[in-house]
Amino acid sequence: MARYLLISLFVFFIFANSNGLVFAESSYVLPYPSFMPGNKLYIISEIKDKLSKYFYFGDFGKFKYNLSQADKYLVEAKTLFEYKQYLLGYKSLQKSNEYFTNIKSNLVNAKNSGKNIEDKEKNLTEASFKHVEVLEKMKEDVPETFEWIPEKASPTTLYLKKQIEDAIEIRH
């Protein structure tokens, strides 16, 4: 009995001394951050993205477009939160969520039109893992709420942690 207790304590101490839980890191690669809000060229990159939407027609095309935009805005949100630009980061994460939500319907449409979506589903699962991985790290560093006080308007409370939790939920 004492021997089992000793082994249990040993295992417990090993895990207790490690840096928290260990996750298998996703091999999915997110893009580099592009132009950030505030940069003069940001509006141009936004227009380019909006226009390129029409180039990405078809279910697979839309899948690629929505996933790339979800990736882009997630990286943007992460960078902005790191610089404590909570309002801008909040908006970027909102956009990332919107694009990510669209992806599933693209796959459903592709499947309904007889396309094999196995590879795309795999791709989406990997992307989801990576997104969740990034979001979990983001959650650790942001405050619970942020009060945004615009000029000539009443202040608004941004529930940052809640938004990140919702983002994780969408990706599950």
Cβ neighbour number for residue 167 with a 10 Å cutoff:
23
Smallest distance from the beta carbon of 72 to another protein, in angstroms? 16
By CB under 8 A, the residues from 96 to 135 that bind another protein are 113, 115-116, 118-120
The helix (H) or strand (E) run that includes residue 156 is: strand 156-158
Q: Which two tokens stand for residue 96?
A: 């990332």
Nearer to another protein, 37 or 58 (CB): 58
Smallest distance from the beta carbon of 32 to another protein, in angstroms? 21
Smallest distance from the beta carbon of 37 to another protein, in angstroms? 27
With binding defined as CB under 8 A, does residue 51 bind another protein? no
Quick one: which of 58, 59, 81 has its CA closest to 158? 81
Cα distance between residue 150 and residue 144, in whole Å: 19
Q: Are 42 and 36 in contact (CB under 8 A)?
A: yes
Show the site string, 61-80: x = touches another protein by CB under 8 A, - = not.
x--x----------------
In DSSP terms, 147 is beta-bridged to: 157
Give DSSP secondary structure letters for 12-75: HHHHHHSSS---PPP---PPPP-SPTTSTTHHHHHHHHHHHTTTS-SHHHHHHHHHHHHHHHHH
With binding defined as CB under 8 A, does residue 23 bind another protein? no
Nearer to another protein, 20 or 114 (CB): 114
Q: Among 55, 149, 151, 152, which residue interacts with another protein (rule: CB under 8 A)?
A: 55
Smallest distance from the beta carbon of 6 to another protein, in angstroms? 53
Smallest distance from the beta carbon of 127 to another protein, in angstroms? 16
Residues that bind another protein (CB under 8 A): 55-61, 64, 113, 115-116, 118-120
